[in-house]
Amino acid sequence: MSATRPILVVGAGYAGSVCARALAEAGLRVRVIDRRPHIAGNAYDEYDGNGILVHRYGPHIFHTNSQRVFDWLSRFTEWRDYEHRVLASVDGMLLPIPINRTTINRLYELDLDEAGVEQYLERVREVRTPVRTSEDVVLGSVGRDLCEKFFRGYTRKQWGLDLSELSAGVAARIPTRTNDDDRYFADTYQAMPLNGYTRMFENILHHPRIEVLTDTPFEPASATGALHVVYTGPIDAYFGYRYGPLPYRSLRFEHEYLPGVERHQPVGTVNYPNEHAYTRITEFKHLTGQSAPGTAIVREYPQAHGDPYYPVPRAENERLYQRYKALAEREPGVTFVGRLAQYRYYNMDQVVAAALKAAEKVRERLRGGGT
Ligand code: UDP
Protein backbone atom coordinates (compact mmCIF):
# COMPACT_ATOMS: atom_id res chain seq x y z
CA MET A 1 0.00 0.00 0.00
CA SER A 2 1.47 3.33 -1.03
CA ALA A 3 0.85 4.98 2.36
CA THR A 4 3.50 2.73 3.89
CA ARG A 5 6.18 3.63 1.36
CA PRO A 6 8.66 6.00 2.99
CA ILE A 7 9.70 9.41 1.83
CA LEU A 8 13.45 9.50 1.27
CA VAL A 9 15.18 12.57 2.69
CA VAL A 10 18.75 13.01 1.51
CA GLY A 11 20.78 14.90 4.11
CA ALA A 12 20.34 15.22 7.88
CA GLY A 13 21.19 18.91 8.18
CA TYR A 14 18.61 21.65 8.79
CA ALA A 15 16.84 21.26 5.45
CA GLY A 16 16.49 17.49 5.68
CA SER A 17 15.83 17.13 9.39
CA VAL A 18 13.20 19.86 9.59
CA CYS A 19 11.45 18.59 6.49
CA ALA A 20 11.57 15.02 7.82
CA ARG A 21 9.97 16.03 11.12
CA ALA A 22 7.22 18.06 9.46
CA LEU A 23 6.38 15.17 7.12
CA ALA A 24 6.45 12.60 9.92
CA GLU A 25 4.07 14.75 11.94
CA ALA A 26 1.79 14.83 8.91
CA GLY A 27 1.56 11.04 9.17
CA LEU A 28 4.15 10.04 6.56
CA ARG A 29 6.98 7.57 7.03
CA VAL A 30 10.41 9.09 6.45
CA ARG A 31 13.85 7.63 5.89
CA VAL A 32 16.69 10.13 6.30
CA ILE A 33 20.09 9.28 4.89
CA ASP A 34 23.35 11.18 5.28
CA ARG A 35 26.75 10.33 3.86
CA ARG A 36 28.45 11.60 7.01
CA PRO A 37 28.70 9.51 10.20
CA HIS A 38 26.52 12.01 12.07
CA ILE A 39 23.36 14.10 11.87
CA ALA A 40 23.02 17.93 12.11
CA GLY A 41 24.95 18.76 8.93
CA ASN A 42 27.40 21.59 9.37
CA ALA A 43 25.71 22.64 12.61
CA TYR A 44 27.10 19.47 14.21
CA ASP A 45 28.69 20.15 17.59
CA GLU A 46 30.49 17.78 19.91
CA TYR A 47 32.60 17.68 23.05
CA ASP A 48 36.26 17.65 22.06
CA GLY A 49 38.88 15.49 23.77
CA ASN A 50 39.14 18.07 26.53
CA GLY A 51 35.43 18.26 27.32
CA ILE A 52 34.75 21.55 25.52
CA LEU A 53 31.69 21.85 23.27
CA VAL A 54 32.94 22.84 19.81
CA HIS A 55 31.37 23.28 16.38
CA ARG A 56 33.28 20.91 14.09
CA TYR A 57 32.33 22.85 10.94
CA GLY A 58 32.87 26.35 12.27
CA PRO A 59 30.81 28.74 14.35
CA HIS A 60 27.01 28.56 14.13
CA ILE A 61 25.20 31.37 15.88
CA PHE A 62 21.45 31.28 15.80
CA HIS A 63 19.46 34.44 15.12
CA THR A 64 16.08 35.13 13.57
CA ASN A 65 13.28 37.63 13.29
CA SER A 66 10.81 34.85 12.59
CA GLN A 67 8.68 33.95 15.55
CA ARG A 68 7.40 30.97 13.60
CA VAL A 69 10.91 29.55 13.13
CA PHE A 70 11.94 30.28 16.71
CA ASP A 71 8.79 28.68 18.11
CA TRP A 72 9.20 25.65 15.89
CA LEU A 73 12.80 25.00 17.00
CA SER A 74 11.85 25.75 20.61
CA ARG A 75 9.89 22.49 20.62
CA PHE A 76 13.24 20.68 20.40
CA THR A 77 15.59 22.72 22.56
CA GLU A 78 15.82 25.15 25.39
CA TRP A 79 17.92 28.20 24.72
CA ARG A 80 20.75 30.20 26.17
CA ASP A 81 20.55 33.91 25.39
CA TYR A 82 23.61 34.90 23.44
CA GLU A 83 24.38 38.04 21.47
CA HIS A 84 27.36 37.56 19.19
CA ARG A 85 30.05 40.22 19.07
CA VAL A 86 32.89 40.42 16.57
CA LEU A 87 36.05 42.53 16.54
CA ALA A 88 38.21 43.07 13.46
CA SER A 89 41.97 43.31 13.67
CA VAL A 90 42.75 46.52 11.76
CA ASP A 91 45.79 48.81 12.02
CA GLY A 92 46.96 47.01 15.16
CA MET A 93 43.62 47.51 16.95
CA LEU A 94 40.63 45.31 17.62
CA LEU A 95 37.63 47.31 16.37
CA PRO A 96 33.91 46.51 16.22
CA ILE A 97 32.51 45.04 13.01
CA PRO A 98 29.80 45.88 11.85
CA ILE A 99 31.37 49.31 11.63
CA ASN A 100 29.82 51.55 14.25
CA ARG A 101 30.55 54.82 16.07
CA THR A 102 33.28 53.20 18.17
CA THR A 103 35.00 51.79 15.07
CA ILE A 104 35.21 55.18 13.39
CA ASN A 105 36.18 57.16 16.48
CA ARG A 106 38.94 54.75 17.47
CA LEU A 107 40.30 54.18 13.97
CA TYR A 108 40.52 57.87 13.10
CA GLU A 109 41.07 59.21 16.65
CA LEU A 110 37.85 61.20 16.54
CA ASP A 111 35.16 61.92 19.09
CA LEU A 112 32.06 62.07 16.92
CA ASP A 113 28.53 61.74 18.22
CA GLU A 114 25.92 59.86 16.19
CA ALA A 115 25.09 62.83 13.99
CA GLY A 116 28.82 63.39 13.47
CA VAL A 117 29.30 59.78 12.34
CA GLU A 118 26.35 60.15 9.98
CA GLN A 119 27.95 63.28 8.48
CA TYR A 120 31.33 61.57 8.29
CA LEU A 121 29.89 58.64 6.35
CA GLU A 122 27.91 61.00 4.16
CA ARG A 123 31.19 62.66 3.20
CA VAL A 124 33.22 59.51 2.50
CA ARG A 125 30.65 57.23 0.91
CA GLU A 126 30.77 56.74 -2.86
CA VAL A 127 27.21 56.12 -3.93
CA ARG A 128 26.84 53.97 -7.01
CA THR A 129 23.68 53.27 -8.92
CA PRO A 130 22.56 50.72 -9.62
CA VAL A 131 23.91 48.70 -6.72
CA ARG A 132 24.91 45.40 -8.27
CA THR A 133 28.03 44.14 -6.56
CA SER A 134 29.30 43.88 -3.01
CA GLU A 135 31.80 46.62 -3.84
CA ASP A 136 28.89 48.94 -4.72
CA VAL A 137 27.33 48.14 -1.35
CA VAL A 138 30.44 48.77 0.74
CA LEU A 139 31.64 51.88 -1.11
CA GLY A 140 28.11 53.23 -0.97
CA SER A 141 27.85 52.80 2.78
CA VAL A 142 31.36 53.42 4.22
CA GLY A 143 33.58 54.70 1.41
CA ARG A 144 37.01 53.66 0.14
CA ASP A 145 39.24 53.60 3.22
CA LEU A 146 36.95 51.53 5.43
CA CYS A 147 36.23 49.29 2.45
CA GLU A 148 39.93 48.51 1.99
CA LYS A 149 40.58 48.05 5.71
CA PHE A 150 37.59 45.89 6.66
CA PHE A 151 36.13 44.32 3.54
CA ARG A 152 38.44 43.98 0.51
CA GLY A 153 41.01 41.64 2.04
CA TYR A 154 38.54 39.56 4.03
CA THR A 155 36.39 39.03 0.95
CA ARG A 156 39.36 38.13 -1.24
CA LYS A 157 40.38 35.49 1.31
CA GLN A 158 36.88 34.18 1.97
CA TRP A 159 35.73 33.88 -1.61
CA GLY A 160 38.89 34.03 -3.74
CA LEU A 161 37.16 36.92 -5.54
CA ASP A 162 37.18 40.69 -5.46
CA LEU A 163 34.23 42.48 -3.86
CA SER A 164 33.32 43.72 -7.34
CA GLU A 165 32.88 40.10 -8.51
CA LEU A 166 30.30 39.18 -5.85
CA SER A 167 26.60 39.98 -5.76
CA ALA A 168 25.44 42.81 -3.54
CA GLY A 169 23.78 40.44 -1.10
CA VAL A 170 27.07 39.12 0.29
CA ALA A 171 28.36 42.38 1.78
CA ALA A 172 24.80 43.55 2.46
CA ARG A 173 24.74 40.95 5.24
CA ILE A 174 26.89 43.36 7.26
CA PRO A 175 25.11 46.58 8.27
CA THR A 176 26.72 49.95 9.06
CA ARG A 177 25.79 51.69 12.29
CA THR A 178 26.22 55.21 13.56
CA ASN A 179 25.48 54.29 17.19
CA ASP A 180 27.44 52.13 19.66
CA ASP A 181 25.51 48.90 19.01
CA ASP A 182 28.32 46.34 18.67
CA ARG A 183 26.21 43.21 18.23
CA TYR A 184 26.87 41.24 15.06
CA PHE A 185 23.14 40.65 14.56
CA ALA A 186 20.15 42.84 15.34
CA ASP A 187 17.48 40.11 15.19
CA THR A 188 14.67 39.79 17.73
CA TYR A 189 15.71 36.27 18.71
CA GLN A 190 19.39 35.59 19.36
CA ALA A 191 20.19 32.43 21.25
CA MET A 192 22.15 29.18 21.27
CA PRO A 193 20.58 25.75 21.83
CA LEU A 194 21.18 25.17 25.54
CA ASN A 195 22.54 21.65 25.11
CA GLY A 196 24.02 22.16 21.68
CA TYR A 197 22.88 21.79 18.08
CA THR A 198 23.44 18.05 17.84
CA ARG A 199 21.12 17.43 20.77
CA MET A 200 18.50 19.67 19.16
CA PHE A 201 18.76 17.66 15.92
CA GLU A 202 18.47 14.38 17.85
CA ASN A 203 15.20 15.68 19.26
CA ILE A 204 13.94 16.83 15.85
CA LEU A 205 14.66 13.42 14.35
CA HIS A 206 13.37 11.43 17.33
CA HIS A 207 9.97 10.36 16.01
CA PRO A 208 8.41 6.93 15.55
CA ARG A 209 7.93 7.49 11.82
CA ILE A 210 11.53 8.67 11.18
CA GLU A 211 14.39 6.31 10.47
CA VAL A 212 17.92 7.77 10.23
CA LEU A 213 20.78 6.11 8.38
CA THR A 214 24.17 7.82 8.67
CA ASP A 215 27.25 6.77 6.65
CA THR A 216 24.80 6.29 3.78
CA PRO A 217 25.56 8.19 0.56
CA PHE A 218 22.80 8.91 -1.90
CA GLU A 219 22.75 6.79 -5.04
CA PRO A 220 20.04 6.66 -7.69
CA ALA A 221 19.06 3.23 -6.30
CA SER A 222 18.44 4.79 -2.84
CA ALA A 223 15.21 6.28 -4.18
CA THR A 224 13.79 2.99 -5.37
CA GLY A 225 10.40 2.42 -3.78
CA ALA A 226 10.28 5.87 -2.18
CA LEU A 227 7.00 7.75 -2.22
CA HIS A 228 8.89 10.98 -2.84
CA VAL A 229 12.46 12.28 -2.48
CA VAL A 230 13.57 15.39 -0.59
CA TYR A 231 17.08 16.16 -1.78
CA THR A 232 19.26 18.64 0.18
CA GLY A 233 22.67 18.01 -1.42
CA PRO A 234 24.32 20.05 -4.20
CA ILE A 235 21.91 20.41 -7.10
CA ASP A 236 24.63 20.10 -9.76
CA ALA A 237 25.74 16.74 -8.30
CA TYR A 238 22.16 15.45 -8.46
CA PHE A 239 22.10 16.07 -12.19
CA GLY A 240 25.55 14.59 -12.79
CA TYR A 241 27.11 18.04 -13.39
CA ARG A 242 25.34 18.06 -16.76
CA TYR A 243 25.92 21.77 -17.30
CA GLY A 244 29.26 21.84 -15.48
CA PRO A 245 29.97 22.28 -11.77
CA LEU A 246 28.43 25.07 -9.73
CA PRO A 247 31.13 26.71 -7.59
CA TYR A 248 30.82 26.17 -3.85
CA ARG A 249 33.31 27.67 -1.44
CA SER A 250 34.88 25.42 1.15
CA LEU A 251 36.80 25.90 4.38
CA ARG A 252 39.47 24.06 6.31
CA PHE A 253 38.97 24.26 10.06
CA GLU A 254 41.96 24.27 12.36
CA HIS A 255 40.77 23.45 15.85
CA GLU A 256 43.08 24.09 18.78
CA TYR A 257 42.80 23.50 22.50
CA LEU A 258 44.69 25.99 24.65
CA PRO A 259 45.41 24.44 28.04
CA GLY A 260 45.64 26.79 30.98
CA VAL A 261 44.02 29.64 29.00
CA GLU A 262 40.75 30.90 30.47
CA ARG A 263 39.98 33.37 27.64
CA HIS A 264 41.90 33.63 24.37
CA GLN A 265 40.12 36.73 23.02
CA PRO A 266 37.64 39.30 24.32
CA VAL A 267 34.67 38.29 22.12
CA GLY A 268 33.30 35.21 20.35
CA THR A 269 34.97 35.96 17.02
CA VAL A 270 37.92 38.06 15.89
CA ASN A 271 38.15 38.75 12.14
CA TYR A 272 41.48 39.17 10.36
CA PRO A 273 40.73 41.06 7.12
CA ASN A 274 44.35 41.87 6.29
CA GLU A 275 46.64 39.41 8.07
CA HIS A 276 47.01 35.61 8.12
CA ALA A 277 45.67 32.97 5.72
CA TYR A 278 42.63 32.43 7.92
CA THR A 279 39.67 34.80 8.00
CA ARG A 280 38.70 34.55 11.65
CA ILE A 281 39.19 32.90 15.02
CA THR A 282 36.20 31.83 17.10
CA GLU A 283 36.46 30.90 20.77
CA PHE A 284 33.64 28.53 21.64
CA LYS A 285 33.30 29.24 25.35
CA HIS A 286 31.91 32.69 24.52
CA LEU A 287 29.20 31.11 22.36
CA THR A 288 28.23 28.29 24.68
CA GLY A 289 28.81 29.91 28.07
CA GLN A 290 30.58 26.73 29.13
CA SER A 291 33.02 26.95 32.01
CA ALA A 292 35.80 24.40 31.67
CA PRO A 293 39.56 24.42 32.19
CA GLY A 294 41.39 25.73 29.13
CA THR A 295 39.69 27.02 26.02
CA ALA A 296 39.03 25.85 22.45
CA ILE A 297 39.35 27.94 19.31
CA VAL A 298 38.93 27.39 15.58
CA ARG A 299 40.62 29.14 12.68
CA GLU A 300 38.87 29.16 9.29
CA TYR A 301 40.98 28.80 6.14
CA PRO A 302 38.91 29.31 2.98
CA GLN A 303 39.58 27.00 0.04
CA ALA A 304 38.11 26.24 -3.37
CA HIS A 305 37.89 22.48 -2.91
CA GLY A 306 36.53 20.25 -0.19
CA ASP A 307 33.07 19.94 1.33
CA PRO A 308 30.71 22.51 -0.20
CA TYR A 309 29.82 25.08 2.48
CA TYR A 310 28.84 28.27 0.65
CA PRO A 311 27.24 28.89 -2.72
CA VAL A 312 29.17 31.70 -4.43
CA PRO A 313 26.66 34.49 -5.11
CA ARG A 314 27.46 36.13 -8.43
CA ALA A 315 25.47 36.64 -11.60
CA GLU A 316 27.13 33.96 -13.75
CA ASN A 317 26.64 31.31 -11.03
CA GLU A 318 23.02 32.30 -10.62
CA ARG A 319 22.50 31.82 -14.35
CA LEU A 320 24.00 28.34 -14.18
CA TYR A 321 21.90 27.53 -11.12
CA GLN A 322 18.75 28.60 -12.99
CA ARG A 323 19.52 25.99 -15.67
CA TYR A 324 19.74 23.29 -13.00
CA LYS A 325 16.60 24.64 -11.36
CA ALA A 326 14.75 24.21 -14.65
CA LEU A 327 15.79 20.54 -14.63
CA ALA A 328 14.64 20.24 -11.00
CA GLU A 329 11.22 21.56 -11.93
CA ARG A 330 10.87 18.71 -14.38
CA GLU A 331 11.34 16.14 -11.57
CA PRO A 332 7.98 16.09 -9.80
CA GLY A 333 9.08 13.20 -7.61
CA VAL A 334 11.91 15.18 -6.05
CA THR A 335 11.85 18.32 -3.88
CA PHE A 336 15.07 20.35 -3.72
CA VAL A 337 15.63 22.35 -0.56
CA GLY A 338 18.48 23.94 1.39
CA ARG A 339 21.69 25.89 0.89
CA LEU A 340 23.20 23.41 -1.54
CA ALA A 341 20.07 22.29 -3.40
CA GLN A 342 18.70 25.82 -3.86
CA TYR A 343 22.14 27.42 -4.23
CA ARG A 344 21.19 30.10 -1.72
CA TYR A 345 23.37 31.72 0.97
CA TYR A 346 20.78 30.85 3.59
CA ASN A 347 21.22 31.45 7.30
CA MET A 348 20.05 28.67 9.61
CA ASP A 349 16.66 30.24 10.24
CA GLN A 350 16.07 30.73 6.52
CA VAL A 351 16.75 27.05 5.91
CA VAL A 352 14.23 26.11 8.60
CA ALA A 353 11.62 28.32 6.94
CA ALA A 354 12.45 26.91 3.50
CA ALA A 355 12.21 23.33 4.83
CA LEU A 356 8.82 23.91 6.45
CA LYS A 357 7.61 25.36 3.17
CA ALA A 358 9.06 22.43 1.21
CA ALA A 359 7.30 19.94 3.50
CA GLU A 360 4.00 21.71 2.78
CA LYS A 361 4.69 21.48 -0.94
CA VAL A 362 5.44 17.75 -0.66
CA ARG A 363 2.16 17.18 1.15
CA GLU A 364 0.25 19.10 -1.52
CA ARG A 365 1.91 17.07 -4.26
CA LEU A 366 1.07 13.81 -2.52
CA ARG A 367 -2.51 14.94 -1.89
CA GLY A 368 -2.72 15.73 -5.59
CA GLY A 369 -1.84 12.12 -6.29
CA GLY A 370 1.63 12.87 -7.68
CA THR A 371 4.86 11.37 -6.46
N1 UDP B 1 32.90 40.61 5.43
C2 UDP B 1 34.07 41.34 5.35
N3 UDP B 1 34.72 41.65 6.51
C4 UDP B 1 34.29 41.27 7.72
C5 UDP B 1 33.10 40.52 7.80
C6 UDP B 1 32.43 40.20 6.64
O7 UDP B 1 34.51 41.67 4.26
O8 UDP B 1 34.95 41.59 8.74
C9 UDP B 1 32.19 40.29 4.17
C10 UDP B 1 32.81 39.04 3.52
O11 UDP B 1 32.67 39.13 2.12
C12 UDP B 1 31.95 37.95 4.10
C13 UDP B 1 30.58 38.60 4.05
O14 UDP B 1 30.82 39.97 4.43
O15 UDP B 1 32.02 36.76 3.34
C16 UDP B 1 29.52 38.00 4.96
O17 UDP B 1 30.02 37.89 6.29
P18 UDP B 1 29.38 36.91 7.36
O19 UDP B 1 30.06 37.14 8.67
O20 UDP B 1 27.92 37.05 7.31
O21 UDP B 1 29.81 35.48 6.77
P22 UDP B 1 29.57 33.99 7.32
O23 UDP B 1 29.49 34.04 8.82
O24 UDP B 1 28.30 33.51 6.64
O25 UDP B 1 30.79 33.26 6.83
Picking from 306, 233, 201, 216, the residue whose alpha carbon sits closest to that of residue 36 is 216
Write down the pLDDT at residue 220. Answer: 85
Q: Is the CB of residue 212 below 6 angstroms from any atom belonging to ligand 1?
A: no
Residue 26 lies in a domain: yes
Write down the pLDDT at residue 371. Answer: 56
Does one domain contain both 19 and 151?
Answer: no
Picking from 21, 59, 79, the residue whose alpha carbon sits closest to that of residue 279 is 59
CATH number of the CATH domain containing 221: 3.40.50.720
Rounded distance from Cα 196 to ligand 1 centre (Å): 24
Write down the pLDDT at residue 370. Answer: 58
Residue located nearest, by CA, to atom 1 of ligand 1: 151
In a mutational test of the pocket of ligand 1, which residue from 158, 310, 344 has the highest number of ligand atoms less than 8 Å from its CB? 158
Task: Give the predicted TM-score (pTM) of the model.
Answer: 0.97
228-280 pLDDT tens trace: 999 999 999 999 999 999 999 999 999 999 999 999 999 999 999 999 999 99
Write down the pLDDT at residue 368. Answer: 84
Does one domain contain both 40 and 122?
Answer: no
Q: Which helix (H) or strand (E) holds 284?
A: helix 284-288
Does one domain contain both 24 and 152?
Answer: no
- How many structural domains comprise the chain? 2
Phi-psi region for residue 281, left (φ > 0), alpha (ψ -120 to 50) or beta? beta
Q: Is the CB of residue 279 below 6 angstroms from any atom belonging to ligand 1?
A: no
Does one domain contain both 238 and 317?
Answer: yes
β-bridge partners, 63: 190
Full residue range of the structural domain in which residue 26 is found: 7-80+190-245+311-367
Does one domain contain both 223 and 323?
Answer: yes
Does one domain contain both 319 and 235?
Answer: yes
Does one domain contain both 156 and 108?
Answer: yes
Residues belonging to the chain:
371
Does one domain contain both 200 and 338?
Answer: yes
Does one domain contain both 17 and 161?
Answer: no
Does one domain contain both 230 and 335?
Answer: yes
Residue located nearest, by CA, to atom 12 of ligand 1: 155
Q: What percent of the chain has pLDDT over 70?
A: 98
Q: Is the CB of residue 150 below 6 angstroms from any atom belonging to ligand 1?
A: yes
Write down the pLDDT at residue 1. Answer: 42
User: Which residues of the chain carry a pLDDT beneath 70?
Assistant: 1-3, 369-371
Q: Is 141:126 a contact under the CB 8 Å cutoff?
A: no
Domain boundary residue among 116, 146, 172? 172
Rounded distance from Cα 114 to ligand 1 centre (Å): 25
Tell me if residue 55 falls in helix, strand or coil. strand
User: Amino acid letter at 302?
Assistant: P
